């Protein structure tokens, strides 16, 4: 199995504040996203990813986000199997992101 790249929420926040334009996919469910999302992220619930692949750019880095980092890691594994090379999992998910806010 290919190693999943990881990014800490603090590093993601620093890169966004520096003006980097990143492809971010939030794989949480609607009710979770209603509590807040990272600005600029696209919401595609984990179960909808197979049907919405056309919305995900295949080139470049793709930061996947969920509540705790588990579902986004599964999404990274799935996308890597389909040839998406730039998948990066935000470790700790939104729980850690909000703690560091």
**Domain edges within the chain:** 5-100
Q: In what order do the strands lie in the sheet with 23-26?
A: 5-7, 87-90, 62-65, 23-26, 42-43
**Which residue in 49, 51, 95, 42 sits closest to 75, CA to CA?**
49
The model's pLDDT over 52-90, given as tens digits with 9 standing for 90+, comes to 999 999 989 999 999 999 999 999 999 999 999 999 999
Point out the catalytic residue in the list 12, 41, 44, 66.
66
d(CA 18, CA 92): 22
Instruction: Please state the pTM of the whole predicted model.
Output: 0.95
The topology under which CATH files domain 5-100 is Oxidized Rhodanese; domain 1 (3.40.250)
Active site residue 66: yes
The model's pLDDT over 5-43, given as tens digits with 9 standing for 90+, comes to 999 999 999 999 999 999 999 999 999 999 999 999 999
pLDDT at 2 exceeding the cut of 70: no
Please report the pLDDT score of residue 1 as a whole number. Answer: 53
């Amino acid at each position: 199995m290919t190693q999943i790249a990881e990014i800490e929420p603090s590093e993601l926040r620093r890169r966004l504040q520096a003006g980097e334009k990143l492809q971010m996919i939030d794989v949480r469910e609607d009710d979770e996203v209603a509590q807040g999302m990272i600005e600029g992220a696209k919401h595609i619930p984990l179960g909808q990813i197979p049907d919405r692949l056309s919305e995900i750019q295949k080139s470049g880095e793709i930061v996947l986000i969920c509540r705790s980092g588990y579902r986004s890691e599964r999404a990274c594994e799935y996308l890597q199997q389909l040839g998406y090379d730039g998948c990066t999992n935000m470790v700790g998910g939104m729980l850690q992101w909000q703690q560091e806010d």
